[in-house]
Amino acid sequence: MDLSIRKLSIIAFSIIYALVILGLSYLGNTFIASGVAVFGSLFLYLLIAFIMRTRDVSEFYVAGRSIGAIPIGSSIASNWMSGASFVSMAGAIALLGFDGLPYIIGWTLGYCIAAFMIAPFIRKSGTYTIPEFIEVRASYWSVARLIGVIMLFIVSFTYLVAQLVATGVIVGRFLGLPAILGAIIASVIVVAFAGSGGWKSIVWVNVAQYWILIVAYWCAFLGAAYVAGIFNPWPHVGYGELLTQLETRETFFNLKAFTEPFVRAFGGGTGHVNWLLSALCLMLGTVGLPHVLSQFYLVKDVRTARYGVGWGLTFIALLYITAPVYAILARSAFSGAWGMPVDQVINLSWVQKWLPTGLIKVMDMNRDGLLQPSELSFHNDIVVVGMPDMFGLPWFFTTIVAIGGLAAALSTANGLIMVMAVGATRDIYKRFINPNASERKEIWIGRAMLVILSAVSSVLGARALEDPTFSTYVALLVGWAFVFAAASFTPIVILGIFWKDLNKYGMIAGMICGMITALPYVLGVGLYGTAPLTIFGSKIGTIAWGSIAFLVNMIAAFLASIVTGGRRRNTQEVINFIETLKTPE
């Protein structure tokens, strides 16, 4: 069938999908309408993946290097914004106030580094994967590639398990299905997306998922903002009065003001230096994550890589600049209950709805019959998933948020599983086991890898859902992934592009020293309760420490390269490779 006809089928399905939901809603069957809306969105993604299916190796591995700037921007954004970004980040800011804002600048401004120092050169390199890039730059030293693949698997696998957990929780919360079933369904669906056409399918599924998730995020936000009266003239700059009211109430109840800096811990550290270094580590870590870097291979040329990152950050920003306002809206709704009789609070419709889920807890601890701020506790996730109810929005807003959350979790899982499948196929099978594998065989091996990875990750996801301790370790590892990426990949990739004296000894020394600096500190402070170091009066937390490890990596790579002869140790092939990166396309 012609591709344009197949594309038309997506539009036809979307229209039928919308009509069925509208019809069910009109008939008043809101539960079935919600179910159809959520599962219908999954079918839409499957349809897109199927239509974009391919048997071509280049399309499977790098989408034929054919993606334009705006589609890749959407794909970068949805690949980046996980279920946690969608559901939990606004809640984290609602809890941490100003001290949670390193998440906002840290998880966005890293893309500037990507645009200026990495993306165009990765595209220009002609390689297919980051481990391959590292191997070529390390004078075709296969050990470097192997280390790269191992790092890729550690980071991506942990991240994938966290996404499956998030999907399970979302499905469980909104549809009342067991969370484990949700995680298994998610892993099967992701394999179907990736197996049909590799990156070619994934990119276009990601594009659809981005627009669905951002519309969902904004729908509930704009509805709540309208009810809260912060359209003066626009919510992102119009919440001044609401914030003042909130902070007045906080002062009345002897709480620290929401925007007061450096009163809450971030990553186990406190203070100004910790805040700055944490933000910096998240930026440096972002650009070292394999599933982020892999997107730069998919674009049609260097120019598209530059603009694509620009669009990517624009689309990410649409969510990230909204999360702090979400946090203020939610905190304002919570603060409205402070001082009210506890019986009255329990009868608020949104409290009634979410109390059984455990996402909010009301407890009259001092038995005075009135609700004190400490007697209303909340989970991060309630800020986004409960927002429609807090502001009395119609039922379908909650469904829209569920569809958005699901899209966010799946879109990140798509990219992660694909990065690992390509890593297993190209960096291990094709490189070390069967270099003469045919294209057809490579794709089938890739598909088999997808199934294996999906099965293992869904087992671990189910374990995380059942065992809170295991789940805590997964969450910690996701946070530390940024530290490890900043300590290992990021400095080497940047130096590898911009400094021709970097040789394989420098690369290995840098990665080893970076990890030796990062790992004991992260484990000690984050897991075993060791007291954090104090720098300029700030306690340095685990995430902030990643910036120090980045610096150590840079210095070690520099010294080791110089001591071992610098560029003279690079082969002619490496010199040619560096020249390719330096010359215009």
Partner 1 sequence: MPKIDDINYPIENSGKATSDENESEGHMVKNKAAQWYWRRLKVITAVWMIAWSIPAVVLHIPIGATSSIKILNGIPLHWFNAALLSIIIGVILIFLYAFLMDRTDRIIKLSAKESNDAD
**Footprint of partner 1 (CB under 8 A):** 98, 101, 104-105, 108-109, 111-113, 115-117, 120, 232, 236-241, 243-244, 259-262, 272, 275-276, 279-280, 283, 302-303, 306-307, 309-310, 313-314, 317, 320-321, 324-325, 498, 579, 582-585
Q: How many residues belong to the chain?
A: 585
φ, ψ of residue 539 in degrees (nearest 5): -80, 125
Q: Convert 144-194 into a string of H (helix), E (strand) and C (coil).
A: HHHHHHHHHHHHHHHHHHHHHHHHHHHHHHHHCCCHHHHHHHHHHHHHHHH
We find the least distance from the C-beta atom of residue 325 to partner 1, in angstroms, to be 8
At residue 388, the 3 state secondary structure works out as helix
Cβ-count burial of 499 within 10 angstroms (0-12 exposed, 13-18 middle, 19+ buried)?
A: middle
Look up residue 306 and give its two tokens: 């530059």
Which is closer to partner 1, CB of 98 or CB of 397? 98
Closer of 194 and 242 to partner 1 (Cβ): 242
Residue 488 CA, chain-centre distance (Å), reads 19
* Least distance between partner 1 and beta carbon 225 (Å): 14
CB 223 within 8 Å of CB 397: yes
Output the smallest distance, CB 408 to partner 1, in A: 18
3-class secondary structure for 250-284?
HHHCCCCCCCCCCCCCECCEECHHHHHHHHHHHHH
Q: 45 or 320, CB closer to partner 1?
A: 320
Q: In whole angstroms, how close is the CB of 380 to partner 1 at the nearest point?
A: 17
The least distance separating partner 1 from the CB of residue 309, rounded to whole angstroms, comes to 6
Round to whole Å and give the CA distance between 105 and 120: 22
Nearer to partner 1, 313 or 403 (CB): 313
User: Of 227 and 243, which CB lies nearer to partner 1 in the complex structure?
Assistant: 243
Determine contact, residues 239/333, Cβ cutoff 8 Å: no
Helix residue spans in 253-385 (DSSP H): 272-286, 290-293, 302-320, 323-335, 342-346, 349-354, 382-385
- From residue 275, alpha-carbon distances to 13, 73, 262 in Å are 47, 28, 8
Taking the complex as a whole, the smallest distance from the CB of residue 217 to partner 1 amounts, in Å, to 15
Q: What is the rounded distance in angstroms from the CA atom of residue 250 to the CA atom of residue 246?
A: 6
Nearer to partner 1, 259 or 372 (CB): 259
CA 534 to chain centre: 30
Cβ proximity to partner 1, 27 vs 321, nearer residue:
321
Q: Give whichever of 35 and 285 is closer to partner 1, judged by the CB atom.
A: 285
Question: Phi and psi at residue 228, in whole multiples of 5°?
Answer: -75, -10
276 or 533: CB nearest partner 1: 276
| 241/573 with CB nearer partner 1 | 241
Report d(CA 307, CA 313) in Å as an integer: 10
Measure the CA–CA gap between 109 and 107, rounded to whole angstroms.
Answer: 6
Instruction: Compute the least distance from the CB of residue 133 to partner 1, in Å.
Output: 19
Closer of 60 and 326 to partner 1 (Cβ):
326
Q: Are 153 and 420 in contact (CB under 8 A)?
A: yes
Cβ 380 vs Cβ 88: under 8 Å = yes
Which residues contact residue 539 at a Cβ distance below 8 angstroms, ignoring those fewer than 6 apart? 268, 269, 270, 271, 274, 532, 533
